């Protein structure tokens, strides 16, 4: 099972948003058209929500490349439940990816997460909703997997990558966030906290002692947590975001010019 979040994939994976989603050719599975007609959606009160993503990989009948439709349990028409858990452990453990491959006629099916989402609100394009072992999940992107790849591979930790991403995210004033300052003076904000199927850490503890967990943090880098003194709004310039993961599969977005309204 792979453990990267949609908005943190490597530079070899380019997100094709709704404007580029097309109806599949007769040789393609129907999931490759799930982004056609996707509509803009804003979801409030997302901080602390538990979620997973499902990736369904298939060959694009037009370009011949392998792509993957991505579905997120957090951004559905049901909204965020009072429990803030859109991916119950029992349901996640019961996912049968071999069965999903057959059901949707794809080359591969894989899991990202479970994770905890840290932004307070999120804006994105939402496509078709599908059910996976009792969990509703919304199409949020289509990924270019590159030649031959059928599943989402983890990127090297602490290595920045760029992706196309049509979305906006926001952290409100007063929200406590986890940050990484790199040796070049850039600041990265934790967006998706990795739980996995067998959680080793919890988010609240990580905010306090994260530095002790990141044993492979590069020289000159620093972990810190901060309570935001003003709203932080992320709007990737020209629809291209700069992202990174750490050694624990936590996901970070770059802050500052071209990404956010200021650097925290």
Q: What percent of the chain has pLDDT over 70?
A: 83
The DSSP output letter for 260 is B
Residues 53-92 pLDDT 10s: 999 999 876 767 888 899 999 999 999 999 999 999 999 9
Distances (CA, A) of 128 to 16, 92, 131, 162: 15, 20, 10, 26
Question: Which residue, 237, 239, 236, 238, is CA-closest to 253?
Answer: 236
Name residue, tokens 């071209």: 258
Residues 164-217 pLDDT 10s: 667 899 999 999 999 999 999 999 999 999 998 888 888 999 999 998 999 999
Q: What percent of the chain has pLDDT over 90?
A: 61
pLDDT value for 145: 67
């Amino acid at each position: 099972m792979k453990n990267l979040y949609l908005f943190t994939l490597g530079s070899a994976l380019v997100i094709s948003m709704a404007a580029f989603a097309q109806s599949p050719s007769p040789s393609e599975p129907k999931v490759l058209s799930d982004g056609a007609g996707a509509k803009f959606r804003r979801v409030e009160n997302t901080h602390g929500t538990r979620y997973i993503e499902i990736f369904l990989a298939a060959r694009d009948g037009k370009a011949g490349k392998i792509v993957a439709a991505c579905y997120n349990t957090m951004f559905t028409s049901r909204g965020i439940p009072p429990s803030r858990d859109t991916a119950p452990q029992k349901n996640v453990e019961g996912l049968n990816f071999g069965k999903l491959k057959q059901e949707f006629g794809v080359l591969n099916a894989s899991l990202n997460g479970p994770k905890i989402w840290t932004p307070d609100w999120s804006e994105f394009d939402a496509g078709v909703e599908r059910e996976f072992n009792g969990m509703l999940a919304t199409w949020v992107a289509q990924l270019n997997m590159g030649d031959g790849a059928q599943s989402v591979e983890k990127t090297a930790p602490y290595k920045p990558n760029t992706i196309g991403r049509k979305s906006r995210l926001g952290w409100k004033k007063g929200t406590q966030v986890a940050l990484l300052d790199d040796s070049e003076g850039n600041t990265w904000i934790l967006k998706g906290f990795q739980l996995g199927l067998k959680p080793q850490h919890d988010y609240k503890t990580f905010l306090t002692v994260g530095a002790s967990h990141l044993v492979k943090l590069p020289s000159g880098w620093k972990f810190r947590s901060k309570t935001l003194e003003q709203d932080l709004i992320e709007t990737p310039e020209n629809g291209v975001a700069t992202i990174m993961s750490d050694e624990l599969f936590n996901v970070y977005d770059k802050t500052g010019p071209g990404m956010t309204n200021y650097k925290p």
